[in-house]
Structure 1
Amino acid sequence: MATGTVTPKSATNGKRSFPLEAVVTAAAAPMFVTDKNLVIRHISDAALGLFGYSRSEVVGKMTCADLCRTRLCRTNNCTINNCMRTGKPLTGRTVCQTRDGREMSVNAYCNALFDGQGAPIGGIEVLIDWTEAVDHAGQVSSINDAQAVIHFNMDGTIITANDNFLNAFGYTLPEVQGQHHSMLVEPDYKNSPEYRRFWEALNRGEAQVGEFKRIGKGGKEVWVQASYTPIKDLNGKPFKVVKYATDVTEQKLAQRGAMAEINRLIDSAKNGRLADRADVEKARGDFKRLFQGMNEMLDAFIAPLNVTAEYVARISKGDIPEKITDEYKGDFTEIKDNLNVLIDALNGLIEAVVTMAKATEEGQLDTRVDTSEFQGIWQRIVQTLNDTAEGVVVPLRDVGSVLDAMARKDFTRAVEKDYSGDYQELKRRTNVLGKNIRDAMAQINESANQFTEGARVIAESSQTLAQGAQEQSASVEEVTASVEELSRSIKGVKENAHVADKMAKEAKELAEQGRVAVGKSIEAMNLIRTSSDQIAEIIQVIS
């Protein structure tokens, strides 16, 4: 192949020829020239930069197949070979590989080169890198496959929509084309300032992104996560709007149902219906697992709460339960420990009360409970129990001391210390008892002296009567007077005896000695009665 001038077949009118190497090297597009054996003879700087090779590595050393490495190379579909064979320019789209293995989507434009006699001597190939365009087209295609897409004019009328959009809203394309976007919104929103501002923003070229509630065919509620993107011309003016949307209706309705169920559980908790649980069967998608987790959480929370409620109820009814032995975690362990401490405190308090009651029953009035084993209010309760026992024991000891003295026939003792309430009354009665016993003893002593004097008078009278009838006769009047005096004495003795008997009965239980003395007084009175009867008989004989 000559390296001077080359004339394309399409330019064989003989008007001009040009230096090929200079043209190719300076070309802005990636291009190269091969001989009829497909060895590269000229290549543009743009092509070297695209593939990553130097000129010395390529020119005269590499074929176009070595450079491009496409699936068409070295096959009957090789573009340059077909151009040389047919003499016609050809185009094709294929994928090339760069030096570092990166793939490029390219459009190849080929033409054959001929000598002056019209014989093919090689070919020229221009490459257009469509990688970004293909990627973009692929992305658009992928988006179109995956999302609901609809196109609008700037006035909101619908241009077209893909199947995803139509299926989501329940329409066919003829039903929506030429209609306004407002057919897809709620009536109130359609007439609102907010909707007007929505389209004003789009006409300013401002994209609108968010979650939107829309209305499908038959009033069907449709929720979409969407972006409304204004497409601008070369002058930067929006000429249409493309909406890319993902149908999130199911998720939205599931979320709404989940929130309703969560609010129901919250209401149940507020109103103490702790047995309520989320209905897992009503949940959709990920919310099913959420409901399961919520139920497990409620079970974990309410189980120890129910145990606490049960224990408190039992304790309130006087039924002290056994300590909790089940295993809990975290803060629930603290609740368990606190309940067990409460149970220990109540059992200790009950034991303390029983101990004090038993000690009182057995007369062990010095028994007290060790307050160091209790804390807080429990310690105060036990201390109050000890103080109560002390308040009972002190007056009982004082009264017992006085009664012990009385038992030892010492009626001079009295309770001196002042007390309150019933203890003061016990003190008064004890002291009154001692005083009554002392008074009774004094009256008994007085009556005994009177009995002695009466007996002496009787004895003297009896001796006088025994001296003979004559002397007796002489002293009848004297004896009569003595008898009358004696009768008066006897009457006084009787009266005193009745008083002494009454007082002795009052002191009977705690003054046994007084009872004995009263008994002796009664015996003396009987003797007096007997003597009186004898004297009466003697007087009758004398008379």
Structure 2
Amino acid sequence: MFASLAAWATDEKAVLKALGCSLAIIEFDPSGTILTANENFCKTLGYDLAEIKGQHHRIFVDPAEANGGGYKAFWSKLARGEFHACEYKRSAKGGREVWIQASYNPVMNAKGVVNKVVKVATNITAEKLKNAEFESKLNAISRVQAVIEFSPGGEIITANANFLALLGYQLDEIKGQHHRMFVAPSEGQSPDYEAFWRKLNSGEAISASFKRIGKGGKEVWIQASYNPIFDMNGKVTKVVKFANDITDLTEIGAGLARLADNKIDQRIDKAFSPTFEKLRVDFNIAHDKLQQALLHIADGTTAIHAGALQISTAADDLSHRTEQQAASLEETAAALDQITATLKKSADGATHARDVVSAADRDAKTSAIVVRQAVEAMDAIATSARQISQIIGVIDEIAFQTNLLALNAGVEAARAGDAGRGFAVVASEVRALAQRSAEAAKEIKSLISASSTQVDTGVKLVAETGKSLDRILGQVTEINGVMDEIASGAKEQSAGLAEVNIAVNQMDQVTQQNAAMVEETTAASHSLSQEAMRLSGLLAEFQIGRPEGEPSIRSALQKAVPHAFRSTATGMKPSRDAGPAKRAARGIASRSNPQSAATSQTKVVNGAPLESGSGAWEEF
């Protein structure tokens, strides 16, 4: 028997030693005085055995707790042999807080009297802190979120105050009820709802936005997560749901969706919870500002469109008139070019005529000299003719005397008879010769007389010719002076027209540039009108609405500037052909080639020919 007791004691010591390797063990007497402690305990509390041996247990507890009645009762119970096991907060060396899971075990002697108390403890400080942190987090979540717990089948186990307030129930109204009481009947009977709980029972967490039905049919939107809770074997024991009320956010989302759908005519008038009330107010302020901005944009767009239409009409009219003026200037420039060329040709002709007249003047002067010389020569001829006539008279007289002598010689020869017959023959021959000389002298005299008459006539004619040439010379001199004046005037006119032509060309270029600028302005006004129409089309996609009694800017503008809302004038169509910008280049090119510009018979304005006889000159 003693042997078995010894063996049992040995075995017990071995067991205690083994437990001491992993557990903190300390022994007290029944009053609480420390008898001994193992190394694990000393490490847990941070003491050496010598520091605590003989000290009372109260060194490990808070002074307030040690001085309380509960602490004394605690040791009284242990002294009576009552066992205690629990979690305890103890103070380690330096005041450090330590949590232990411990059992206080009274050890009795053979008489049943407690002779010591053995405390076996495990340090659970880390687990306690972790659990405290976890509980703090859960409490924090519970303070701000709606929390409800379900059985795996969906029956309600419990719910916090936030959840109850959110749905409007008391806990006893929902405890034991199924989750489907929070959903619409059609949803609660749907296959999707059954699948929802099957997923949770399979351990799958679900997080989404849900619409739930509160007490009295109140619709509530929540952002919730359903979280399966597992036991040690991985089996789902319950489902914890954490939810936030997003009903107000859903309203805001619906309002934003309406805005995204271009519906700017619905405010959120229902008050939100204090948390989101400012968001609702800000949404309404933003909504109102956007609505007002779009209303102003819409009215302004109408005014812009009307103004752009008026500008476009005026620009089209100005473009039309500018094109006509450009065409008129172009024709004017061409005509001036032609006139300039004609005047230049006339000036050249006048210069040539002046040269011809000058040559004629010189020839006339030369002719006058020749005529005077001819008159002098004719006078000399007349004098010579008179002298010849006198000589012929002498010859005629000699012939007459010779004839008389021959007659006398014949008479004497006749008287002499035969002795004078030869002399008579000679005298007869001399008389015949004298008669022929007399006849020749008469003929010469007659010819000389006729020649003298003709010479006198020629002298008179030459004299008259000289007088005529003198008169012609005076007239040619006068004509030469006039031609000099004409040539000088033609040159001055040509120079003046050249300057006018330069000025007209400059006006033409400026007009063409103005026409190009007008065309750009017209295009810009049409573009502005199109942009205004496009903006109106975009605004038409919005359902803006207008506060009652608020007049539109369009109506105010129609009263102030009604002409801005009139339709385009009839027949005033903008030019769509090659505009002034292109004709400007053509006009400038024509200036460099006046001949081609001058020969152009028609111009084109707005795609139609403009005859030179049209009203363009009058308009110009």
TM-score where L is the length of structure 1: 0.48
- Between structure 1 and structure 2, the one with the greater Rg is 2
Larger RCO: 1 or 2 (CA < 8 Å, sep 6+): 2
TM-score where L is the length of structure 2: 0.43
